[in-house]
Amino acid sequence: MELVQLVDFQAHGDERGTLVSLESAKNIPFEIKRVYYMFDTQSDVARGFHAHKKLKQAAICISGNCTMLLDDGLRKESVVLSSPKQAVLIDPMVWHEMSDFSENCILLVLADDIYDENDYIRDYDDFIRRCQK
Ligand code: TYD
């Protein structure tokens, strides 16, 4: 499977503007239990730098653009997120780093579970060791 899995959303546009709807099992391939978003990010400050043991996520740059690096322990691939009509899926056991935030970037993330610090792997060497098991 490709490391970068993108989901393109249908956009409902008319003279009033554009609307995108996100729905579990319809265009988001998991049950959405949590939504969070990042804003006031800085172009020269990267964040993320972790993987999740079990959590599935989808990230959508609903304003501006940023770069998402994905790393499954074997491959590293980057994708520029620049459309509110597209998500990148972040599977469990995928190290991810977000960087190059544009001005007014808003990165929305959907997750299939509540926040749990025990699900995080924040040490890269630990991540690689776990990938090799
Ligand atoms: P952090 O994991 O450091 O952000 P990033 O992955 O972008 O580097 O999260 C920043 C802070 O927000 C940290 O104190 C944990 C907290 N947080 C929550 O309370 N709930 C959440 O759902 C998330 C994602 C983070």
Ligand 1 pocket test, pick from 33, 35, 47, 94 with the greatest ligand atom count within 8 Å of Cβ, gives 47
Give 109-126 pLDDT, tens digit per residue: 999 999 999 999 999 999
Q: Residue 97: pLDDT band by 50, 70, 90 thresholds? A: very high
pLDDT given for residue 133 in this prediction? 84
Atom number, ligand 1, closest to the C-alpha of residue 98:
7
Give 50-66 pLDDT, tens digit per residue: 999 999 999 999 999 99
Average pLDDT over residues 15-22: 98
C-alpha separations of 133 from 107, 114, 128 in Å: 32, 26, 9
Binding-site residues, ligand 1, Cβ < 6 A: 34, 36, 38, 47-48, 115
User: What is the CB neighbour count within 10 angstroms for residue 48?
Assistant: 18
Q: Ligand 1, atom 6: nearest CA belongs to which residue?
A: 48
Atom number, ligand 1, closest to the C-alpha of residue 109:
24
CA 36, 41, 43, 44 torsion: positive or negative?
A: negative
pLDDT given for residue 87 in this prediction? 98
Atom number, ligand 1, closest to the C-alpha of residue 38:
7
